[in-house]
A and B are shown apart, each in its own frame.
Chain A
Amino acid sequence: SQQGEEDPQALSIQEGENATMNCSYKTSINNLQWYRQNSGRGLVHLILIRSNEREKHSGRLRVTLDTSKKSSSLLITASRAADTASYFCATDARQAGTALIFGKGTTLSVSS
């Protein structure tokens, strides 16, 4: 069963705008990761936030984690057409390093 649920399912924005995607999960976690997938093939790791962290930055990415609400958000600032992809959150609920449990993803479309 899916652990994470992203919303919105789809997001369309203009270049230069910010994109915010949300993820909710059901059980306690060790860490939460965000991945990007282009064209329905391999995934690329973007950022990891540990359960004892509340916010993390990496370049144009900002991730927040609220363990009390079992939710996370991914903010992409100053979006570019190249950011067009599907974005997934993933958790390793059972034990850190074991299999990830993915949500269904948010499809982001950035138009120029």
Chain B
Amino acid sequence: GAGVSQSPSNKVTEKGKDVELRCDPISGHTALYWYRQSLGQGLEFLIYFQGNSAPDKSGLPSDRFSAERTGGSVSTLTIQRTQQEDSAVYLCASRKQGAGYEQYFGPGTRLTVT
């Protein structure tokens, strides 16, 4: 079956513009995670959705970052008024509830803010 997909794979934007990053999780996976990886760094947790529960937004670095998950499936991460420090690879992962704790990652979106 298909894995986690993300689009676009690469995005170059000008400072101050808004961007939307999309994640399509594996069908049937109720948990969805967004992470950010800056150059040469580990992954930084951003936000976590689990079913119909309120999302865990504790990792969002500022109020310029928001995410939603429609219909318990596709998720969109929005960054408003992008800054150069937002440049990173944004990774999405999903997990099937009750099937262990392994997370399945998408290929990521490389965001470059010029």
Chain A residues in the interface with B (C-beta under 8 A): 2, 4, 30-31, 33, 35, 40-45, 48, 88, 90, 92, 96-105
* Main DSSP-derived SS at the B contact region: strand
User: What is the size, in residues, of chain B's interface with A at 8 Å between Cβ atoms?
Assistant: 29
B102 on the interface (CB 8 Å rule)?
A: yes
Contacts of B97 in A (CB 8 A): 97
B42 on the interface (CB 8 Å rule)?
A: yes
What are 26 A-B pairs with beta-carbon distances under 8 A? Answer: A2-B42, A31-B101, A35-B105, A40-B89, A40-B108, A41-B89, A42-B91, A42-B107, A43-B43, A43-B103, A44-B105, A45-B102, A48-B100, A48-B102, A88-B42, A90-B43, A92-B101, A96-B101, A97-B95, A98-B48, A99-B59, A100-B33, A100-B43, A100-B45, A102-B43, A104-B42
Chain B residues in the interface with A (C-beta under 8 A): 4, 31, 33, 35, 37, 40-45, 48, 50, 56, 59, 89, 91, 93, 95, 97, 100-108
